[in-house]
Structure 1
Amino acid sequence: MTTQRIAIVTGAARGIGAQVARRLADDGHAVAVFDLDEAACQSVADEITAAGGRAIGVGVDVSDEVKVEAGVSRVAAELGPPTILVNNAGIIRDNLLFKMSVSDWDSVMAVHLRGAFLMSREVQQYQTKEGWGRIVNLSSTSALGNRGQANYSAAKAGMQGFTKTLALELGRFGVTANAIAPGFIATDMTAATAERIGVSFDDFKTAAAKEIPVQRVGEPADIAHTVSFFASEGAGFVSGQVIYVAGGPKA
């Protein structure tokens, strides 16, 4: 029998985040769906509730300290103390270095790194009090370097260092912290990239699959499955790890 925990998934109105929220609900947890647009969050929460789960949608800008504090407090009041946190919220502002604006840099850092910091700092107080917690941070294969993504690559590499430090600081309280670094995942974000470079999404996915050892692109469910493992009771001795879910070896 799985103990029902309270989970928060950021950037969960669509794509990977929405699939992670559904999977954690399927695993028996109550889920708070966080994203900028509360109406979009609520549609995912309603879907979970209609399937027999417990969920709420919460509109939160994860880079805003006051809104993060209010959002997490609302989860504690409406669902219970949150002990599973998935820091998935992210944006891209791709450009080559010489074309990249300061706002392109700052906005990516704010959502990925500042957001993960604020959310983790807020949720850890509930985790440490409960003596149990799981933090899962979304990194990327771009952490290894990717042309046109100096900002995103730096942020996603930063997520790995952040994760390892959380594992060191929070382990004594029964809290694990791990990171997932997806490769090519078919989402609205990758579709937008295809559109930006002027190719059809199907052609974009076909070309990407040829470079992946398992000969297919990833789906949000691939990431959700890995989150499910990290969030499980049985993963309590796995902490500070980065797993590349990319259809082949990365390092």
Structure 2
Amino acid sequence: MTSETLHRVLGLRGKQVLITGAGGGIGQALIETFNAAGAVVSGADQSESLLVGLPLANGLVFDINDKAQTSSAINKFLRDHGTPDVLINNAGFSRGEILDQVDGNVWENEIAINLNGVFHVTAPIVEAMAAKGGGSVVFISSVNALNHYGNPAYSAAKAGMIAYMKALAVEKGRYGIRSNAVCPGSVRTPAWDHRLEKQPELLAKVLPHYPLGRLVTPGEVAQAAFFLSSASASGITGATLTVDGGLTAGNLHFINDVLAGDK
């Protein structure tokens, strides 16, 4: 298949794509992936410094935790640049915690960033997509939305994100809008660096839980989001795609430690 044929099949050349959380590890991989397909890529993050040097057609700066600021930035983008063909909701925040460490402030902050903020970004864009005649929305959720791996407030927000994704798929499909989610497991981004500096043995504890024996890369998450955004996924909506090295397929650690250990 030639490059030209591939671009035609994927249908993203010249399409306008907006990516939130653009300055992070997954965000940068998303930018690279969509740029390679010939899309016109805009990116949003919470500070100008996170966008410096990124190959973006347009940059948006707003705090997703601030409803008024978010709405103002999104509406200005729609006025100035038109309706995106693709929205990738990638912005988010998590911390390592168990239920006993979650108080009201932690809960409210995690829900505000990872769920409420996503709604405030998405709702006006979906309205504009419906008026335009279609579009694709992809949410970067998490395996934490599907099973419990700690981080209960973050997990609740990411599960709510999937419920919102399905609501959009069901109620906005008549307007040509597709809505899907990618659920990564642990992703080897620079965010791991400071954790590994403090706990060099951490990966040795984590990797036995993954059937592939490794963490997934930002590029692998980006490719999944890219597929769901493209014409190759034109009949897919309301779907959740795990990119988790097999984590949610079963409990490898249990098999190795309990069942195989009995042999």
> Does TM-score exceed 0.5, indicating one fold?
yes
1-structure distance, mates of 2:109, 2:16: 29
- The SS at the match of 2:236 is coil
Structure 2 residue aligned with 1:231, among 229, 232, 245?
229
Look up the equivalent residue of 2:148 and give its one-letter code.
G
Distance 1:42 1:128, change over 3 A: farther
Task: Establish whether residue 210 from structure 1 lines up as the match of residue 208 from structure 2.
Answer: yes
Change (3 A) 1:188 1:249: closer
After TM superposition, the structure 1 stretch with the greater mean CA deviation from structure 2, 224-233 or 35-44, is 35-44
Structure 2 distance, partners of 1:210, 1:93, is 21
Q: Residues 32-76 of structure 1, C-alpha deviation per residue, up to 9 Å, x if partnerless?
A: 2111012312322xxx25xxxxx2221111232222222223333
Paired residue secondary structure (2:14) = coil
Contact 1:32–1:75 (8 Å) recurs in 2: no
Listed as ranges, the matches of 1:40-189 within 5 Å are 40-44=50-54, 48=55, 55-143=57-145, 144-147=147-150, 149-189=151-191
Farther-moved stretch of structure 1 (177-186 vs 11-20) = 11-20
Does the Cα contact within 8 Å between 1:33 and 1:42 map onto a contact in 2? no
Q: Quick one: distance in 2 between partners of 1:154 and 1:134?
A: 24
Q: Is 1:83–1:126's contact at 8 Å kept on the other side of the alignment?
A: no
Of 63-72 and 118-127, deviating more is: 63-72
Q: Provide the rounded CA distance (Å) in 2 between the counterparts of 1:222 and 1:4.
A: 23
Q: What's the offset of the Cα at 1:93?
A: 3.5
* Equivalences, count: 238
Q: Summarize the Cα distance change of 1:79–1:26 in structure 2 as closer, same or farther, 3 Å threshold.
A: farther
What is the CA RMSD across the aligned residues, in angstroms?
A: 1.9
| Distance (whole Å) between structure 2 residues aligned to residue 162 and residue 39 of structure 1 | 31
Q: 2: CA distance between counterparts of 1:74 and 1:26?
A: 27
Moved over 4 A (4+): 192-195
DSSP 3-state at the match of 1:112? helix
Is 1:142–1:153's contact at 8 Å kept on the other side of the alignment? yes
5+ residue gaps, structure 1? 50-54
Distance verdict in 2 for CA 1:118–1:105, change over 3 Å: same
The residue that corresponds to 1:242 in the other structure is 240
Q: Give distance in 1, aligned partners of 2:176 and 2:74.
A: 20
- Structure 1 pair 244–138 and aligned structure 2 pair: CA distance change class (3 A): same
Unmatched 5+ residue regions in structure 2?
1-7, 250-263
Cα 1:249/1:187, change in 2 over 3 Å: closer
* Larger of the two Rg values belongs to structure: 2
Contact residue 41 and residue 58 of structure 2 kept, 8 A: yes
Q: Check conservation: 2:20, 2:89, Cα contact below 8 A.
A: yes
Distance 1:77 1:42 in 2: 23
Percent identity over paired residues = 28
**Which residue number in structure 1 is paired with residue 25 of structure 2?**
15
TM-score by length of 2: 0.83
Partner Cα separation in structure 2 for residue 91 and residue 217 of structure 1:
19
Report the CA distance between 1:88 and its aligned residue: 1.1
For the 8 Å contact 1:85–1:136, the answer to whether it is kept is yes
Q: 1:246 to 1:125 in 2, by over 3 A?
A: same
- Alignment CA distance shift 1:113-1:95 (3 Å): same
